A and B are shown apart, each in its own frame.
Chain A
Amino acid sequence: MHHHHIILRVVTKMLVGTIILFAFYVQFHGDFSPGGGFQAGVIMAVAFILYGIVFGLNKAKQVFPAWVVHKLVALGVLVYAGTGVASMLLGYNYLDYGAFNPHHPSHGQHWGILAVELGVGITVTGVMVAIYYAFAGRPPPMKDEDW
């Protein structure tokens, strides 16, 4: 089994790290160039999906367990909505990023966008991988005790 598709295996191992790095680039450079949380999330998920396709679902789940994936989906939404609540606690409107740097609202907006896009990236990564897990593994990926 290990001798099959050796080129695919070697190339995948080389690519996965690069893909993840590229995902981070798209994520954190999204406010200056095309990109952002959604694209970065998909690219990040691609790294894990590619790994799963080449090495098998079980290996992918060892790297990125199903329960972590499900928590990530929720975590991203919390990060996004939490950013809004943080601006509210600072006395500004919901998601008014000016709150994060009252003396220089455009800097505040920079931070706000970064935080919100991080939330989007986390959720999109989670959702994409969760959809792949759901399709690839017919039995439900969550055991009773995982909840």
Chain B
Amino acid sequence: MSATEVHHVAKTLMDHLPILQVVIPLMSAPLIVMIGNRNLAWLIAFAASAASFVIACLLLSDVIDGSVISYHIGGWAPPLGIEYRIDALNALVLLLISGIGTIVLPYAYTSVKAEIPQRLHTLFYALYMLCLTGLLGMVATGDAFNVFVFLEISSLSTYVLVSLGANKDTRALTAAYDYLIMGTIGATFFVIGLGMLYMATGTLNMADLADRIAEQGANRTVQAAFTFIVVGMGLKAAMYPLHHWLPNAYTYAPSAVTTFLAATATKAAIYVLLRFMFSVFNPGFHFEDWTLYLIFIPFALLAMFAASFVAVFQTNLKRMLAFSSIAQIGYMLLGIAMLNATGLSASIVHLVNHGITKAALFMGAGALILYSGSAFFDNLNGLGRKMPLTGATMVAGGLSLIGVPGTAGFISKWVLVQAAFENGWWIIAVAIMLSSLLAVIYVWRMFEVLYLTAPDEGCTATDPPLPMLIPMLILAVSCIWFGFDTELTLGSAQVAADGLLAGSAGMMAH
């Protein structure tokens, strides 16, 4: 027996952070179902997501200098075993997802009571934690197939979460079904792409994939794989012509779910897109340049204008914000297509800033709906005056959405315009500003309804209770805060962009 004895140094808690990031929310979901008490369910969900937020902070502080943490699941070394790999890019996205996941929960406590039948509350929190697990896992893992597994975990729970809005409006069911079909097509495309990559290279570890693709160069299989992965993830990220599922899903889902999804789900998909386009396929991959110039730029521009234009004519606040999300994703894709460090950091920083901004706006919308019963502009007349703090949140979020100086949205647009000038694309820079003007129109409509119309007579609306108000205000303040203090967001985005542009070399531990 002693012949096979191996020396082992016991691991400490800090060594396990990458896996704890995912396992804590993962275990909380079945625990919630086992205990089956709706008040404890909230407490468990909150404790687990707060723990994962703390872990994300610790991870980011470890990797912000550009280093990489690699965790081998089961003690099996990559490329055979599954590896979790944390660098500046995914640590930042992990921080966004776990942060939003934590801050939405106190808000959800009140808002879920108002919108979802009591018997479904326990299930709601279990699904919410599963969705959080899936999104965190997608981002934390360094194994391509593991991304697919977590993508499915988050997607399946998302479909059910969206359908929970059926109590208020049965159209939530068709919205969830639409999303189910579209999301499944997206996931299928993604896994077909992975299959082709596996066929061509015989590996699923991202770093190993990158090396082998660089070795064998572009062949038809690898090109097809690239296309399938971009289309599949584009669908999940609501890239312009593939955005059809998004407006309905965001409009009819319960407020807490919309807030959480808008700030995290498409962002995780954008992260995977970035990871595959730059780390797995080298930025020098010739096929990719053409994809970026001929597909990403036109569709990003279309998204910025067409979706903003549609947003202007919406009569429903949540639907308007949903269309604006599609437009904002256009900015992120545009940043990717710039193919320079500034463009990539613009894309990454916009991913975070827009996540915070949209979360604030959808939370505000949820608070308005709590009193008006629906998100139609006709029912929101003058509510900004009756609910001053909610109105203030909408103003802060709206200004950040436009990109007014002094807000988070300004930083990302500023860096994006800089990136356009770096490439000498002044027409694109002008397009970015023009599309911001469209944002001014639809955000102004929101202000007009909230402040410049007279509230209904006998309107008793007041600001929502504290559990909803505090998360809302925290997000509203962050919209402003990250417009001044860019060290965290822009700082880590720049480190992340450098890592991405280094291609497969960026996957190596320094």
Contacts and interface: CB of A to CB of B under 8 A. Distances in A.
Interface of A: 70-71, 73-75, 77-78, 81-82, 84-85, 88, 90-98, 102-106, 142, 144, 146-147
Interface in B243-301: none
Given A102-B8, A103-B5, A106-B4, A94 B23 contact: yes
Interface string B50-88: 000000000000000000000111110000000000000
B75 A70 contact: no
Contacts of B219: none
A102 B122 CA distance: 40
Contacts of A98: 6, 8, 75
A78 B1 contact: no
B73 A142 contact: no
B119 A94 contact: no
Given A84-B19, A147-B121, 6 more contacts: A91-B8, A93-B73, A94-B16, A94-B73, A97-B74, A106-B4
Given A81-B26, A98-B75, A103 B34 contact: no
B33 A104 contact: no
B216 interface: no
B38 interface: yes
A81 B27 contact: yes
A93 B72 contact: yes
Nearest to A123: B30
Contact of B34 (A71, A81, A88, A105): A71
B460 interface: no
B23 A71 contact: no
Query: Chain A at the B interface: mostly helix, strand, loop or mixed?
Result: helix
Contact of A70 (B26, B33, B73): B33
B4 A105 contact: yes
A75 B23 contact: no
Contacts of A102: 5-6, 8
A136 B155 CA distance: 26
B465 interface: no
Given A71-B33, A71-B34, A88-B16, A78 B73 contact: no
A90 B75 CA distance: 13
Nearest to B4: A104
Contacts of A88: 11, 16, 19
A105 B38 contact: no
Contacts of B38: 147
Given A88-B16, A103-B5, A78 B34 contact: yes
Nearest to B119: A144
Contacts of A85: 23, 27
23 contacts: A70-B33, A71-B33, A71-B34, A73-B33, A74-B29, A74-B34, A75-B34, A77-B29, A78-B30, A78-B34, A81-B30, A82-B27, A84-B19, A85-B27, A88-B11, A93-B73, A93-B74, A93-B75, A98-B75, A102-B8, A104-B5, A142-B119, A147-B119
Given A92-B75, A95-B74, A105 B30 contact: no
B486 interface: no
B315 interface: no
Contacts of A97: 74
Contacts of A142: 119
A97 B81 CA distance: 13
For the complex of A and B, the 3 pairs showing the least CB-CB separation, nearest first, are: A91-B10, A74-B30, A96-B75
Given A91-B8, A92-B11, A144-B119, A104 B1 contact: yes
Contacts of B23: 81, 84-85, 94
Interface string B104-137: 0000000000000011011100100000000000
B398 to A, nearest CB: 39
A78 B8 contact: no
